[in-house]
Amino acid sequence: MTAGPAIGPYVLPNRLFVAPMAGVTDHRPFRRLCKRLGAGYAVSEMITSRPELRDSLKTARRANHDGEVGPIAVQIAGTDPEMMAEAARYNIDRGAQIIDINMGCPAKKVCNKWAGSALMRDERLAAAIIEAVVAACEPRGVPVTLKMRTGWCAQVRNAPVLARIAESAGVRLLTIHGRTREQGYGGQAEHETVAAIKASVRIPVVANGDIDSPQAAERVLRTTGVDAVMIGRAAQGRPWLFREIAHYLATGRLPPPPTAAELRAWLLDHLHDHYALYGEYSGVRSARKHLLWYLRAIGGDAAAQQRLRDAITTAETCEAQLAAVQAFFDAYEPVLPLAA
């Protein structure tokens, strides 16, 4: 497979990126599994720039990169240039090798504070933040990347303007989600704006949005000329999607679906890693959403699925969840296609 783009001194192994997702890629175990199954790069879910929240257990877990394959990329979010610069320095001190600026999150709790994609409404503030973060990172040899949407709304698609501002300020890679903030995750992503940005800048550009199959990944790469694609929600419960895309890009054919033995091994490895990071009480509860996503992707007998669903949502111990997963796979027979 073709090598990925370079982010400063880091040449990525391929063109498949894991998107930062709230409540998903803050989990190091999920990022590690995606990389193991073919992703060349993963960005951790955003860490707030507010200093009073840095010492929380939640933030400490997000900043835990023990055993993770580099380069380690951390996304930061905020509205104050100096606070964002300090957040960059703080994360570099804790192992971040790349800093990503969040100007793409559409969540109301983020945008209501004028962070995330709301920054696209104020180009002067956005530029000040980008400049401050780059100035904080450059002396440490840490490249800065930026993730944003096509604009705030259909009438204001100013991502091309901000892309040129970011390039001039020293940003080393841009990721564009092909929706406006107004769209949230509704409607369809459009990549024409992404293609236009790619044609107007010299730094690498990554396309994000509705890349949910090997065919979609190939089509976006071919029609936009971007340097990589970023996959988000489609990988929830289906981290082997990266392996499928890599195979399709290399051969033009879909790979065979994962075997039951592979699925069992991946899920159990994910759970063990997850419990080790979060402990039993939090680990069992936060693992539930991942397991439910896996169930949606892997199919199987409806009655067996319901038994597992009931077991994983009521389990109070790691052992109980693990036993439920083992029992499910002991009788597992796939009834749904696993490759798109």
Q: Is the dihedral of CA 132, 136, 141, 144 positive or negative?
A: negative
The residue whose two tokens read 């990169």 is 65
Q: Is 105 a catalytic residue?
A: yes
Q: Of 105, 111, 137, 318, which one is the catalytic site residue?
A: 105
Dmax over CA atoms of the chain, in Å, equals 59
Instruction: Please report the sign of the dihedral spanned by the C-alpha atoms of residue 271, residue 91, residue 4, residue 151.
Output: positive
Q: Per-residue DSSP letters for 30-51? A: HHHHHHHTT-SEEEEEEEE--G
| The pair of three-digit structure tokens given for residue 144, joined into one six-digit string | 């800065």
Cα–Cα dist 289/287, whole Å: 6
Contacts of 261 (CB under 8 A, 6+ apart): none
Rg, C-alpha atoms of the chain:
20
Phi and psi at residue 73, in whole multiples of 5°? -115, 130
| Active-site annotation, residues | 105
